[in-house]
Structure 1
Amino acid sequence: MSEEISYEAAREELTGIVAKLESGGVPLAESLELWERGEKLAAICQEWLDGAKAKVAAARSETES
């Protein structure tokens, strides 16, 4: 995992970033920084989800065997 942060914490921070960007009241430079952080957080969330999906798939294949 690229950064040690829980799925829940990453999702919560990402939600806050989206709200700030959607408000439109953020200067351009800060918007770019927020966007970059949001991209990293989205990737972290996807890593967590992919890992969970792989665990479920492995568990299913074990029970089906």
Structure 2
Amino acid sequence: MLGDKTFSQLSDEQLFWQYHSESNSIAMIVKHLCGNMLSRWTNFMSSDGEKSWRHRESEFDNDI
């Protein structure tokens, strides 16, 4: 809920703004955090760490 309220205050331009080409936008960071949490918390009782289906590097592609 807090995230949704925060994002609703930002324009699309602000969500995707990058300081320079090597920096990450807010949208990229959220996409990365989502991938990380899905990987870490899926089957956390029976498996640990990165899952084989996660493509970490693609989380930083600006393809939203």
Q: What's the TM-score, normalizing by structure 1?
A: 0.40
Higher relative contact order (CA 8 A, sep 6+): 1
The structure with more helix, counted as a fraction of residues = 1
Between structure 1 and structure 2, the one with the greater Rg is 1
